[in-house]
């Protein structure tokens, strides 16, 4: 037992080292171009921890990407590369706002029902490409990618002709009723009860994936479809069910984001947090328990970048480059499937077997 | 309704369709070359952004539009080479690499724009050059036909000329044969002595060059400046163009023409106050339908 934990620690340590190296390689030259290199590094790396407010900002930034990360994890684990989480996130936010504004339920049920509505509407983004793949064999990667944009314009059509607040100058929804909005947890930040939902969802997702029969079946279908077929598992049904669940989570993520942070629905382009969720899923090695630290880490980078953008003359866009480089580095086979690393891990495990 | 027909009958409409089509066609051909080699270039959107910014910056500093265009091609070809290196050298996931490239390009171009001009949104402060429109001698003088065929942007002609060239390259040259072999079955190709890595690298470099041309067209022809995120999803429509065109260059031409007509109609509808979002959905819905029908038909044939 000890040794298998040790073996997984080796992999974790490698990941941390690679990420640290990527951050240094990008950040050091950038800071050297500024008049005070030390201050740039300091603001970016330690700034996010210098106040309770900034720590709250990290959790606030981590909330949506933890949920979209979970959605991608569920989908990827079934062996599908469905990128519909981005569209699902957008549609989930729109659906929740529309439900809250148009149905107008009051009292404590307003927010949960709005989130449920958002989740159901958002799930379409993952269900359609999943169905086309399972039923007709259309590659889900391409169809889900373009379907995101189709949903964006469908959503905008709905926003401008049905939901739009005619008294507002810009293209936005009317104000979301206060009952439907999520409670704020920390003064001075937008951290809200959605963070609790995200943590609970990730833990439940982990328990489902690793400790239930249905989770095990899903992992078998995803990792070795041939074996799953020999076992007589209902592959089509399992695959489709994970696309539905992944879509529901993505929609929920969008709903939580809109009800937690905004007073109106204002997105007129894809917010990009579904893409970031894919990075979170990859970074967490498709393990729901690891999603929470992975999402917090990306939230930390985001807050560091924002501090840099506000206090120094360095645009916060640097975070985008950092994230992209990390994304590529942690999927690099040359590092993580390096024969030496694999041999080291195997030797640690084998010593336990003896 | 009269206004609607008046707009449709406008002789400038054909020119608008070609203007909208050019970047889609160039980028679509780029995606096509990469996809046929088995390395679908999801990063086309990012490559176009890089090309657009490079064109503006280099032409502003040298004062020569052609140098800017050339630089855009070279830089984007280089980006394609780096992508090949990351995918085949480092062994990173192809699709993740593409998404990462889009992300890095969106952030990186904004960053470079900021350091070059002090503005994060637009390159208005830079005096960049544009590539010219060209009139074809003799043909321009023919009534009716002349204004239709002549006087378009030089990159529009280049894009149209690329269609037969890419088609010949893919179907009639040893390189094209190798490229398609690698895309169809990399293991068999490797057994036959083809270097899969080298062919895929060449495909991604070529794909990048087309992406650079498409990007340069946006900032040096379609408009005369660079704005952050100015590609606005055209790189993804390019993937749709390739899918709709069923992987052939002529198909890509037809697909980009159809999508350009749809987008032109969307622009026209917008100016008339009609719901243009419906038309904007077309480039994203049609490829899904085409792909599904195509794949399920092929599947049905195999089952019989």
d(CA A282, CA A274): 13
- A339 in B contact zone (CB under 8 Å): no
Cross-chain Cβ contact B288/A143 below 8 Å = yes
d(CA A198, CA A64): 8
pLDDT per position in chain A (354 positions), as tens?
677 777 778 878 888 888 888 888 888 888 887 777 788 888 888 888 888 888 888 999 999 999 999 999 999 999 888 999 999 999 999 999 999 988 878 888 888 999 999 999 999 999 999 999 988 888 888 889 889 999 999 999 999 888 888 887 788 888 888 887 888 877 777 888 889 999 999 999 999 999 999 999 999 999 998 999 999 899 999 999 999 999 999 999 999 999 988 888 889 888 889 988 998 998 888 899 999 999 999 999 888 888 888 877 777 788 888 888 888 888 887 777 777 878 887 787 776 555
d(CA A88, CA A144): 10
Cross-chain Cβ contact B96/A149 below 8 Å = no
pLDDT band at B127 (very low <50, low <70, confident <90, very high): confident
B287 min Cα distance to partner chain A (Å): 8
Cross-chain Cβ contact B107/A320 below 8 Å = yes
CB A77, CB A242: distance < 8 Å:
yes
Cross-chain Cβ contact A282/B96 below 8 Å = yes
CA distances from B197 to A197, B38, B90, B206 (A): 45, 11, 12, 14
Cα four-point dihedral sign B25, B27, B30, B31 = negative
- A160 in B contact zone (CB under 8 Å): yes
- Looking at residue B10, its pLDDT comes to 61
- Nearest by CB to B100, which of A150, A156, A324? A324
In total, the C-beta contacts within 8 angstroms joining chain A to chain B are 132
Tally of CA atoms within 13 A in the half-sphere of A198 that contains its CB: 32
Contact residues, B window 265-304, toward A, CB-based 8 Å cutoff: 275, 277-278, 280-281, 283-285, 287-288, 291-292, 295-296, 299
Cross-chain Cβ contact B296/A147 below 8 Å = no
Q: What is the DSSP letter of B219?
A: I
Cα four-point dihedral sign A334, A339, A342, A348 = negative
User: pTM to 2 decimals?
Assistant: 0.87
pLDDT reading at B9 higher than 70:
no
ipTM of predicted assembly, 2 dp = 0.83
- Nearest by CB to B86, which of A317, A323, A328? A328
d(CA A287, CA B267): 45
- Rounded to the nearest 10°, the torsion over CA A96, A99, A105, A109 is -30
In the block, residue with structure tokens 């990009």: A272
Rg from Cα positions in chain A: 21
d(CA A322, CA B107): 10
- Looking at residue B44, its pLDDT comes to 93
- Nearest by CB to A153, which of B104, B281, B292? B281
Residue B260's CATH number: 1.10.3470
- Nearest by CB to A318, which of B111, B280, B287? B111
Range of the domain at B119: 1-303
Token pair belonging to A17: 């080292």
- Looking at residue A74, its pLDDT comes to 94
Cross-chain Cβ contact A141/B104 below 8 Å = no
Tell me if residue A192 falls in helix, strand or coil. strand
pLDDT band at B2 (very low <50, low <70, confident <90, very high): low
d(CA A138, CA A118): 27
d(CA A25, CA A36): 18
- B133 in A contact zone (CB under 8 Å): no
Cross-chain Cβ contact A324/B91 below 8 Å = no
Q: How many domains does chain B have?
A: 1
- Nearest by CB to B103, which of A275, A333, A335? A275
Tell me the per-residue pLDDT of B209-251, one tens digit each, with 9 for 90 and over. 999 999 999 998 888 888 888 888 889 889 888 888 888 999 9
- Looking at residue A353, its pLDDT comes to 54
Tell me the per-residue pLDDT of B31-79, one tens digit each, with 9 for 90 and over. 999 999 999 999 999 999 999 999 999 998 888 889 999 999 999 999 9
CB B203, CB B21: distance < 8 Å:
no
List, in order of start, the domains of chain A with CATH numbers.
59-341 (1.10.3470)
Nearest Cα neighbor of B55 from B26, B81, B82, B84 is B26
């Amino acid at each position: 037992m000890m040794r298998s934990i040790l073996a997984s620690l080796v992999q974790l340590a490698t990941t941390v080292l690679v990420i640290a190296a990527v951050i240094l390689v990008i950040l050091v030259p950038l800071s050297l171009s500024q008049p005070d290199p030390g201050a740039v590094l300091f603001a970016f790396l330690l700034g996010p921890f210098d106040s309770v407010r900034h720590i709250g900002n990290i959790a606030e930034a981590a909330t949506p990407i933890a949920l979209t990360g979970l959605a991608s994890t569920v989908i990827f684990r079934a062996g599908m590369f469905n990128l519909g989480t981005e569209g699902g996130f957008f549609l989930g936010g729109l659906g929740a706002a529309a439900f809250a504004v148009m149905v107008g339920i009051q009292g404590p049920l307003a927010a949960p029902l709005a989130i449920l509505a958002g989740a159901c509407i958002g799930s379409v983004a993952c269900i359609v490409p999943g169905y086309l793949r399972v039923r007709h064999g259309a590659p889900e990667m391409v169809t889900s990618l373009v379907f995101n944009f189709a949903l964006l314009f469908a959503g905008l059509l709905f926003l401008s002709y049905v939901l739009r607040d005619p008294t507002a100058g810009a293209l936005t929804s009317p104000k979301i009723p206060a009952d439907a909005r999520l409670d704020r947890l920390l003064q001075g930040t937008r951290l809200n009860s959605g963070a609790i939902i995200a943590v609970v969802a990730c833990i439940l997702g982990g328990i489902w994936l690793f400790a239930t029969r249905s989770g095990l079946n899903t992992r078998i279908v995803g990792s070795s479809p041939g074996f799953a077929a020999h076992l007589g598992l209902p592959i089509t049904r399992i695959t489709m069910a994970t696309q539905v669940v992944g879509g529901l989570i993505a929609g929920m993520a969008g709903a939580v984001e809109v009800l937690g942070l905004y007073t109106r629905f204002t997105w007129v382009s894809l917010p990009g947090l579904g893409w970031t969720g894919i990075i979170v899923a990859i970074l967490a090695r498709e393990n729901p328990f690891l999603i929470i630290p992975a999402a917090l880490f990306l939230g930390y980078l985001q807050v560091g970048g924002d501090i840099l953008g506000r206090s120094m003359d360095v645009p916060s866009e640097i975070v985008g480059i950092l994230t992209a480089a990390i994304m590529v580095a942690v999927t690099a086979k040359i590092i993580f499937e390096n024969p030496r690393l694999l041999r080291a891990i195997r030797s640690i495990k084998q010593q336990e077997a003896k | 309704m009269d206004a609607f027909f008046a707009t449709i009958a406008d002789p400038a409409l054909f020119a608008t369709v070609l203007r909208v089509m050019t970047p889609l066609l160039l980028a679509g051909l780029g995606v096509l070359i990469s996809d046929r080699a088995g390395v679908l270039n999801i990063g086309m959107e990012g490559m176009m952004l890089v090309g657009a910014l490079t064109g503006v910056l280099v032409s502003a500093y040298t004062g020569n539009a052609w140098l800017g265009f050339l630089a855009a091609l070279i830089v984007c070809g280089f980006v394609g080479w780096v992508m090949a290196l990351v995918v085949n050298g480092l062994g990173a996931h192809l699709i993740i690499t593409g998404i990462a490239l889009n992300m890095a390009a969106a952030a990186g171009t904004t960053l470079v724009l900021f350091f070059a001009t002090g503005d994060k949104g637009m390159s208005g402060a830079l005096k960049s050059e544009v590539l010219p429109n060209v009139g074809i001698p003799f043909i321009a003088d023919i009534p009716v036909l002349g204004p239709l065929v002549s006087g378009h942007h030089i990159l529009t002609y280049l894009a149209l000329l690329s269609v037969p060239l890419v088609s010949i390259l893919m179907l009639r040259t040893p390189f094209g044969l190798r490229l398609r072999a690698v895309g169809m079955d990399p293991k068999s190709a490797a057994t036959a002595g083809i270097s899969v890595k080298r062919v895929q690298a060449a495909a991604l470099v070529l794909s990048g060059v087309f992406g650079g041309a498409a990007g340069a067209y946006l900032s040096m022809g379609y408009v005369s400046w660079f704005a952050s995120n100015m590609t606005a999803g055209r790189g993804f429509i390019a993937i749709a163009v390739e899918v709709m065109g069923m992987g052939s260059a002529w198909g890509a031409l037809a697909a980009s023409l159809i999508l350009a007509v749809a987008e032109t109609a969307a622009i026209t509808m917008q100016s008339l106050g009609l719901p243009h979002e419906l038309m904007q959905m077309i480039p994203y819905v049609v490829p899904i339908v085409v792909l599904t029908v195509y794949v399920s038909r092929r599947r049905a044939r195999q089952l019989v």
